[in-house]
Chain A
Amino acid sequence: MNANGYEVLIVDDEPIVGRQLRYALSKDGFSVETCTLPLDALRRIEEKYFDVVVTDIRMDDINGIEVMERALSKSDRTKVILITGFAMMELARYAMENGAFDFLEKPFTPDDLRTAVGRAVGFPTG
């Protein structure tokens, strides 16, 4: 897949997660920014349009659901993918009901995320 031109924001308070995901997505040509502080993420969302926002749910101060709400209120074309180590059926349903594009349980493989982000920007799934 050639994802040149697509902007992705990754929000996770664990720096290693952001680094790994950025590496995986950059290989496909996505332009990736990472934030470890949700407040920084909200600022970047205000400043710039992102095609896809990938955000952890459980973070200090501001959670991923709030990041999603802010991203969707800025642009309804942005697709939000929520990731969490505390996945449950009700949480997944809540996320989808409130506008998430996809929901992934940690740990996941880089390929899982590449597939989800690819689908978010409209690449055919194989």
Chain B
Amino acid sequence: MAVITINETSAARAIAEAVSLKLNYSIIGSGEVLEAAAEEFGLPAAKIHSALSEPTMFWGMSAATRQRLTSCYQSILASMLSGDNAIYYGPTGHLLIQGVSHALKVHIHCGGKVETLCDLAIDARNTEFEEAVDVISAHALSSRYRTTTYSLNCMRNIALSSRVRAALIKVDNDVNVRAANGRVYVHVRAAETKRRQLIAAVNNIVKGISDVVNVEVTVTDDIFQKYAQTYR
């Protein structure tokens, strides 16, 4: 069985609900994820929603804040999707679960640019509601999207790396995290003088996260801090 993600469109919710009924899948809406993320991280749900939906503007939310809020949302979403037989409608789903063979990524659009990350594109202008539900269900039931030991592992790795990233993003906005069967690889940037301190901080945070077996931290030069220190 598969996990289905549908991008955020006006038709997504109704289609997701119909597919979930037809396949007996559990349904996860963006509202549910927002609420859980707000509770888990102690943040206002409206602010997380803005980070996910509002376009980037010069006078708007800073990139750092947007990344932090998005990572909190993704951390919750990844853990909700680590089970099987679920359908999610909302933002960032396609991007989050790249590389998972049992994840069927559906892009519903009204013409214009079609996401390259998706597995199935449906043009809402010339597809009837029932037809869209049937096509998505048939794809989800095909053997191509059947869960494997490998794909479940991929999903678990994404869930763990998302949790770790959400915990570390206060240390470095551009923190890069990869997880493989409990081993976590973290890449951060720091000036030479702050490296030791940063590695200790990362180790402390990550070791407290469940399912982490060990952590490896690599640090590269933060050139902005470096030059700021040089010319101070």
Contact = CB atoms under 8 A, between A and B. Distances in A.
A99 to B, nearest CB: 8
Nearest to A95: B148
B153 interface: yes
A96 B144 contact: yes
Nearest to A106: B150
Contact of A96 (B143, B153, B154): B143
Interface residues of A, number: 19
Contact of B150 (A90, A99, A104, A115): A104
Nearest to B146: A96
Nearest to B151: A92
A104 B149 contact: yes
Contacts of A87: 150
Contact of A97 (B144, B149, B150): B144
A1 interface: no
A93 B150 contact: no
Contact of B149 (A88, A90, A102): A102
A92 B143 contact: no
A102 B148 contact: yes
A103 interface: yes
Interface of B: 99-101, 142-146, 148-151, 153-154
Interface of A: 87-90, 92-93, 95-97, 99-100, 102-105, 108, 112, 115-116
